[in-house]
Amino acid sequence: MSEFEKEVKEEKELNVLEEAKSELYEEVSLSDSAKVVSPGRMVLRRFFRSKLSLVGLVTLFIMFAFSFIGPLLSPWGEVEMTGDYKWVTSILPHQIVVTEFNEETGMDEQVTYIFFEVSDPYKVYSKTLPSWEHIFGTDQYGYDVFTRLMYGGRVSLLLGFMVIFAEVIVGLFFGSLSGYFGGWVDMVIMRVVDVFNCLPGLPILMLAAAVIDSWGVPARVRIYYLMAILTFFGWAGIARLVRGQILGIRELEYMLAAEATGLSTRRKIFKHIIPNVMPQIIVQATLGLGGIILTESTLSYLGLGVPFPYSAWGTMISSTSGAAGRDILQNYPAIWVPAGVCIVLAVLAFNFIGDGLRDAFDPKMRR
């Protein structure tokens, strides 16, 4: 055997060894035998495994498409009068008393004249029953109900998301201050939270909305005031949740490690605490969204929410209230039932998604 041949053989053996080695590694390596799944992936997979949360997600998707894309396709506008109308002239009687000289008697006499002021004919719209042209008919103002349903959805969904976003920001701020620093900061903030928790929900919102009503702000701006009120009276729950979570996290080892590496307070809060509180906040926010939509529609129902002529689901149902609404309640269910169904669907969807998220984030907490 020459030197060369020996070398080649050794090389071959080495290669075989390598191959065997790599085969061995292939069998053992975790990355090849099992797929590495990131926590986010796991959450998503658990979330999509639950049927109810899927139903919620699909419902919400349809609602969004309906209320944001729908108006672009609808032939009618939000405040466009359409449907059946009659030409009406109003007749206004006037009466004047004039002192006139009576030629027969030769004396001044009081004479009463009655005359009628007749206006130019104008259109009066009335409710119409559902037809192919107007899927849910038109309401008492002559607005197309189906189109107003879409615009109402826009308001409810947008307002819900804006309010919950603001609430989370305010709640995170105060909650993390309170939980992280403890001491008197915690004391003060938590007492304020207690105060907000003891305020009656709907009545105080009504009082606030009535006060804002008396300012006489224009209708478009009213919605922003409404958001501000809902946020002002709603942030306390999230602040309390955040504080509780942080109190727990503060005691964990990785916070000790963060402390030991000398990280700045800001970095500790924003990089290490808040990301770990986020799952609970997302769950709470999703569940809270349904609540906000309910509150908004209740306020609109009471005439303190989204102002006329803008459309809101609550307002559409309020047309059934009182003696005047009896006719609509009895004969025109297409005006108010769809709005109620929309509210229920939207709130249900958020609740299902929130429940699904909770189970997905923390499988141990599975109810």
Residues that bind another protein (CB under 8 A): 191-192, 194-195, 197-200, 202-204, 206-208, 210-211, 214-215, 290, 294, 297-298, 301-304, 314, 317-318, 320-321, 329-330, 333, 336-337, 339-340, 343-344, 347-348, 351-352, 367
Q: How many residues are present in the chain?
A: 367
> What's 144's DSSP letter?
B
151 or 313: CB nearest another protein:
313
8 A C-beta contact, residue 122 and residue 88: yes
76 or 314: CB nearest another protein:
314
74 or 305: CB nearest another protein:
305
| Closest distance of CB 348 from another protein, Å | 5
| Closest distance of CB 303 from another protein, Å | 7
Torsion, CA 220, CA 172, CA 55, CA 62, rounded to 10: 30
158 or 337: CB nearest another protein:
337
Of 313, 299, 279, 307, which Cα lies nearest the Cα of 157?
313
Chain-centre distance of CA 326, in angstroms? 30
| Closest distance of CB 26 from another protein, Å | 40
74 or 284: CB nearest another protein:
284
SS3 state of residue 115: strand
| Closest distance of CB 200 from another protein, Å | 4
How far apart, in whole angstroms, are the C-alpha atoms of residue 281 and residue 50?
20
56 or 71: CB nearest another protein:
56
Joined together, the tokens standing for residue 164 give 């919950």
8 A C-beta contact, residue 353 and residue 43: no
Concatenate the DSSP letters of all residues of 267-307 into one string: HIIIIIIHHHHHHHHHHHHHHHHHHHHHHHHHHHHTTSSSP
173 or 232: CB nearest another protein:
232
| Closest distance of CB 194 from another protein, Å | 5
CA angle 265, 268, 270 (to 5 degrees): 105
| Closest distance of CB 250 from another protein, Å | 14
146 or 336: CB nearest another protein:
336
Which residues, listed in sequence order, are joined to residue 110 by a DSSP beta bridge?
A: 99
Residue pointed to by tokens 């259109």: 123
| Closest distance of CB 240 from another protein, Å | 13
Of 207, 174, 203, which Cα lies nearest the Cα of 191?
174
- Give the torsion sign (CA, 183, 189, 195, 200): negative
**CA distances (Å), 259 to each of 172, 182, 254, 262, 286, in order?**
21, 16, 8, 5, 33
| Closest distance of CB 354 from another protein, Å | 10
59 or 276: CB nearest another protein:
59
SS3 state of residue 93: strand
| Closest distance of CB 201 from another protein, Å | 9
Of 265, 288, 297, which Cα lies nearest the Cα of 170?
288
| Closest distance of CB 203 from another protein, Å | 5
69 or 202: CB nearest another protein:
202
8 A C-beta contact, residue 334 and residue 130: yes
CB atoms within 10 A of CB 74: 18
